Amino acid sequence: MRNTDEFRDKSAVTRLCGVLSIAAICYPLFLRGSYGSMQLFAASQTPLDGFAAIISFAASLAAAFGVPLTAALCAASIADLSSHSTGALRAYRLAHLAFAAPPLFTALGVVTGILEIRTHIPGVGALDYPMWILFWLGLGLYCALSAAHVRETEVRPPVPRLVAFHGVLALTVLLIFLIAHLVNHLFGLWSPGMHGRVMHVLEAVYRAFVVEPLLVLCMLLLIVTGMSLAWRHTAIGGDAYRRVQTLTGAYLAAFILSHLTAIFLLARWLLHVRTNDWSYASGAPEGMLRSAWNLRLIPHYVMAVWAVMTHAGLGLRGVLRAHGVAERRANFSAKGMSAVGAMVSVFISLGLIGLHLGGS
C-alpha cells in the first residue's frame, strides 16, 4: 500500500511539474495574443470584427492571469500529497516561481533590453522569450526527475527574530512609501494632472537624498529576509493562509527586483527618462494596450497591488493571532485586506489603461 501511495505521489509530482512548466512557457504567448487582438481591433472595419477582437483580447488576457492561478492550484495539490520527497518540495517551490511569472518575465525583458542597449547588438532584446522557454524547460525537468528522492534533513521553523525584523522592514516601507504611492496612483483614475500634483508633494519625502537610498535598502532587505522565510515555510508546510502568504511573497520579491531594475538601471541610468510622472507609469505615448511591451505590465501591476495588500493582511493575521485575537477575526482581517487590494488594483489599472473620471 505504501509503495502504491509513493508511486501515485511521484506520478502526481511529475505531472504537476509538467503543468507548471507548460503554463509558464505559454504566459508570453497569451500576452502576445492580447497584443494581436488589439491590433485586429484597431484595424477592424465592422462592428462584428471589433467585437470579435475584444472577445479575443479578453480571452487572451484572462489566460495570462490564469497562469498564476494555475500555479496556486498546483501548489495546493502538491501540499495535499502525503509525499515528503525532495521532488515534491521542489515542485512546490516551482509553483511559487510560476506564480511569479508576470514580474519574472517583465524582469527578463528589462535585462535583455539593457543588454541590447549596452552591447549595441540588434535583436538581443528579443531573446527574452527563447531564454524563458529554456529556463522553464530545464527547471521543470530538474524538478520532475527528483520526484522519487526522499528528504532526510530536518527543517526547522524560521527564527522568530527574523520574522520580527521582516515585519518591521515591511511596516517601514508601508508607512514611508507604499501606502502613499498606491493612494497617489488612485488619483490617476481621476486625472493624470491630479496624479502629478500629488506626486510632486510626495516625492519631496520619499525621493529625498537620504530617504530614497534607505527605502531601496529596506526593499532589498525585504527580499532577502522574505525569501529566507519562504524557503523555510515551503519546507515545513502550513495551511492555506501560509501558502498564499509564501506565494504572494515570492511574487513581490520578483516584482521589487524587476521594478528597481527598470527604474534605476534602464530608465534613469541608461535612458535618462523621468520616472515620477503619469507618462512613465502608463507607458505613454503608446499606452498599455497598444504596445507589445507595455501589455506585459498589465498582469505585472494588477497582481502586484493585490499581492501587497494580501501579503500585508496575512502578516497582520499572524500578529493578531500571536496576541490572542480569535482566529475567526484574524482570518476576517486578512480576507478583508485581500478584497480591498483587489478593488484598489482594479481602480489603479483602469486609470493606467486610460480611464480618467475627471478628464485628462
pLDDT 10s digits, 193-204: 999 899 888 888
Same domain membership, residue 149 and residue 192: no
Same domain membership, residue 202 and residue 114: no
Same domain membership, residue 186 and residue 141: no
Same domain membership, residue 31 and residue 141: yes
Q: What is the mean pLDDT of the chain?
A: 91
**Global pTM?**
0.95
CATH code at 255?
Answer: 1.20.1300
Same domain membership, residue 161 and residue 63: no
Query: Does pLDDT of 120 surpass 80?
Result: yes
As a whole number of angstroms, the distance between CA 232 and CA 160 comes to: 12
The residue from 153, 178, 195 where one domain ends is 153
DSSP 150: B
The residue from 153, 187, 219 where one domain ends is 153
C-alpha cell at 127: 531573446
As a whole number of angstroms, the distance between CA 89 and CA 206 comes to: 40
pLDDT digits (tens, 9 = 90+) for 41-85: 999 999 999 999 999 999 999 999 999 999 999 999 999 886 677
Q: Lowest-confidence range among 4-8, 183-187, 338-342?
A: 4-8
As a whole number of angstroms, the distance between CA 350 and CA 189 comes to: 7
Q: Which residues pair with 85 in a beta bridge?
A: 150
The residue from 153, 182, 199 where one domain ends is 153
Same domain membership, residue 149 and residue 60: yes
What DSSP letter does each residue of 57-122 carry, written as one string? Answer: HHHHHHHHHHHHHHHHHHHHHHHTS---BHHHHHHHHHHHHHHTHHHHHHHHHHHHHHHHHHH--T
Taken in order 334, 338, 340, 341, is the CA torsion positive or negative?
Answer: positive
Q: Around Cβ 52, how many Cβ atoms within 10 Å?
A: 15
The total domain count for the chain is 2
Cell 525537468 sits on residue: 141
